Structure 1
Amino acid sequence: MNFVFIVQGEGRGHMTQAIALSQMLRKNNHTLSKIIIGTSPSRSIPEYFIRKIGAPIIQLESPNFIKDKKQKSVNLSLTLFQTLWKSNTYRKNIKILSHIIADENPDIIINFYDFLAGIYNFWYRPKSKFICIAHQYLISHPQFTFPKGKTMDRMTLKLANHITRLNADKVLALSFQYFKESMTKNIIVTPPLLRDELLELNIKTGDYVLIYIVNSGYGEEIEFFHQKNPSIPLICFWDNDKKPSKYVICKNLIFHQLNDQLFLQKMAACKGFVTTAGFESVCEAMYLGKATLMIPVNGHYEQACNAIDAAKAGAGITGSSFDLTPLIDYFPQHKNIKNQFQPWVAKGENIFIQHLT
């Protein structure tokens, strides 16, 4: 069967999932003819995605979160304003998307949580099957635990889920752990999509803490913690084009630009992991048995949901700042759940092939 992927370009998780699924499909003799990726002026497509996805890529500007001036929090009001301001651009891009799909004529379109893809599917009703994949869809499960309060944020996330899956034939909800099937019949709970490279890593336990931040503004908080705790080695990955690929402050504080292979190597040997609670990176840490501190980006409700869900699954603990002291104190208490998590991941290929083909 021939597939076309439409991938949201915000963060790196959806792109990593797309790579993992492309590897799985090719192993099972299916083809991937085109990738359409929703981009924004503030984000560039990482080199590793271009190298590994193995299909021609077309970029179309699509709605994305706008950060505050400090490059930390999500500015929801500015995000909404920009979406309205660029509505004509988005309408044109939906039309371009329709031409691409018509030319490719795929058997199946996979939407990795891109907004324009959902609207396209609702407006144009293509003959191709339209299947959506994302962790966000798990919030429809009755066992899902939401952050307390923030009713408006919850409604906004539900609206985003609805838009991205408009008129979908099937929805696959990626999950940290197994849930009994009790959602609507076209929403299926599945294991996460993890890259083959992760599954082949040699796991060790070093002395450093690995930190992953997409929003570069958090670098100041990490430097502040380091000044107070200079003996704790910190290796950080960030998206900051104003700094060199390897930015060495001292031997115990090093920042790297996003690099998939180096990141996985460092994760395999770290003592613990700190992240802004993106689904994919937490799953990778769980697979490798690394204690994790999850610090959701302020204003990013989806990440707040991820943090609670992952903590329930045994990934680690949640926090509100890049003071890593709680993680250091948590290390002796952490229960390594990789022996429970890895078999759940291993079931993924059969489940995905069953539901996608």
Structure 2
Amino acid sequence: MSLRCLFVVQGEGRGHLTQAMALRHMLQDAGHQVAEVVVGKSDNQAVPTFFREAFEAPVTNIESPGFVSDDADRSVRPWATLRRMLGRTPTFWHSLDTLDAAVDRRDPDVVVNFFEPLMGLYAVTHSPSVPVVAVAHQYMFLHPDYRFPAGRWGRRWAARAFARLTAWGASRRLALSLYPAPDRPRDTLTVLPPLLRPGVFRQPQGENEPFFLVYILNSGYANEVVRWHEQNPGVRLHCFWDRPDAAPVEAYDETLTFHQLDDEKFLRLMARCRGLVSTAGFESIAEAMYLGTPVQAVPVAGHYEQRCNAVDAVRAGAGVCSTQFNIGRLRTALGRGAEQRGRFRRWVRRGRCQFVRELEAAVREFPAEPTPPLPMEDRILETA
């Protein structure tokens, strides 16, 4: 049976977007189709062109909660983020209506949610009559083997509660991981390798060139990169950012070049560079590990999930983590990527066929009658 899928994607950064692109190829190869993609973005962001072009299906935007950065666009402000989310509640209700219209319009066999929180709220308010499969690395937060950074119990609790919210009503939660871990059937939690784009597997091997690659989620970190570069002008850097008003390519000088986000160019350079310095997005770390490129992970200040990603990357042997774009620290990680590349590649390849099987099983096993939503007091207790 050919499945008709609806994708709902949290569009902040690039990780969930590229995961959706990867799964779309797997589904297509298996004879299934993606009927529509709904992308949640905050009001100051646009869906990248490379993502729209990757789908033959329509791509619909909805307004979704997003982080609020400081004035320098360097760190996340948690309380300002919460206030903004509460203040935009009417807008998010409208987004839920748009999402409901997409479900009615496409009548999918399965909804695949890439960590979009509004899909969790939709499950609470609308009780979908089709199975929902939630896919994200953040579901590893719910696994007992996951190791959080020391301290910050409040943020740990919040990260776990938010992960549960995004997967509310999901019949399966697929936790993407940098290393194998046992499944948790009683928690509907299956551990799978990262969802890497087909372009990663097409990159040549052994073509190292004398430059470092930099990726910054928040453009405010560009000044930090420039300061390090001016102290080390002989080190060639290619830096990718997501600054809306930037030109496709801006040469700062002969050895520092800024590039607007372009996934194919980014992959080509990652396969050839000596090392990657990046804000601690899961997908960039996973791609670098597959290519054997050592990583320096720099979590965005105040972004607890990125702090978790950085610690997890070190645990997986990807490289080092730091609090600043001091690219000199990456030199201590050179050679580490090759040590774990073979093991990580086997883990990725072994799990690729399982993604489609999980979606097919979710449709096959879904009950004919949807489960009624829990009373509000029970929802609060279970989320905690």
Same fold (TM over 0.5): yes
Shift in Å, 1:330 = 3.0
Secondary structure of the residue aligned to 2:233 is: coil
> Relative to structure 2, which stretch is displaced further, 137-146 or 18-27?
137-146
Q: Which runs of 5+ in 2 are unaligned?
A: 361-384
Shift in Å, 1:107 = 0.4
Could you tell me which of 266, 272, 277 is aligned with 2:275? 272
What is the match of residue 238 of structure 2? 235
Runs of 4+ in 1 over 6 A off after TM superposition: none
Shift in Å, 1:182 = 4.2
What is the match of residue 32 of structure 2? 30
What does 1:112-123 correspond to in 2, within 5 Å? 112-123=114-125
What is the match of residue 169 of structure 1? 171
Q: Which runs of 5+ in 1 are unaligned?
A: none
Could you tell me which of 225, 229, 236 is aligned with 1:226? 229
Shift in Å, 1:243 = 2.5
What is the match of residue 297 of structure 2? 294
What is the match of residue 96 of structure 2? 94
Secondary structure of the residue aligned to 1:58 is: strand
What is the match of residue 157 of structure 2? 155
Shift in Å, 1:48 = 0.3
Secondary structure of the residue aligned to 1:41 is: coil
For residues 185 and 258 of structure 2, the distance between their equivalents in structure 1, rounded to whole angstroms, comes to 42
What is the match of residue 199 of structure 1? 201
What is the match of residue 56 of structure 1? 58
Could you tell me which of 243, 247, 255 is aligned with 1:244? 247
Secondary structure of the residue aligned to 1:70 is: coil
Check the 8 A contact 2:113/2:134 in 1, yes or no: yes
Q: Deviations over 1:119-140 (max 9, x none)?
A: 1012111111111000000011
Check the 8 A contact 2:319/2:336 in 1, yes or no: no
What is the match of residue 217 of structure 1? 220
TM-score, scaled to structure 1: 0.97
2:10 counterpart of 1:19: no
2:284 counterpart of 1:284: no
What is the match of residue 70 of structure 2? 68
**Percent identity at matched positions?**
36
Secondary structure of the residue aligned to 1:211 is: strand
Secondary structure of the residue aligned to 1:69 is: coil
2:135 counterpart of 1:129: no
Shift in Å, 1:155 = 1.4
For residues 320 and 139 of structure 1, the distance between their equivalents in structure 2, rounded to whole angstroms, comes to 22
> Relative to structure 2, which stretch is displaced further, 88-97 or 165-174?
88-97
What is the match of residue 82 of structure 1? 84
What is the match of residue 188 of structure 2? 186
Shift in Å, 1:29 = 0.2
Check the 8 A contact 2:8/2:38 in 1, yes or no: yes
Shift in Å, 1:159 = 1.6
For residues 52 and 310 of structure 2, the distance between their equivalents in structure 1, rounded to whole angstroms, comes to 29
Check the 8 A contact 1:40/1:61 in 2, yes or no: yes
For 2:280, give the aligned amino acid: A
Check the 8 A contact 1:135/1:174 in 2, yes or no: yes
Query: Relative to 1, partners in 2 of residues 1:320 and 1:342: Cα closer, same or farther, differing over 3 Å?
Result: same
Secondary structure of the residue aligned to 1:347 is: helix
For 1:37, give the aligned amino acid: V
Q: Deviations over 1:192-219 (max 9, x none)?
A: 1001111011122111010011211000
Check the 8 A contact 1:2/1:32 in 2, yes or no: yes
Could you tell me which of 242, 260, 265 is aligned with 1:262? 265
Secondary structure of the residue aligned to 2:288 is: helix
What is the match of residue 333 of structure 2? 330
For residues 258 and 225 of structure 2, the distance between their equivalents in structure 1, rounded to whole angstroms, comes to 10
TM-score, scaled to structure 2: 0.91
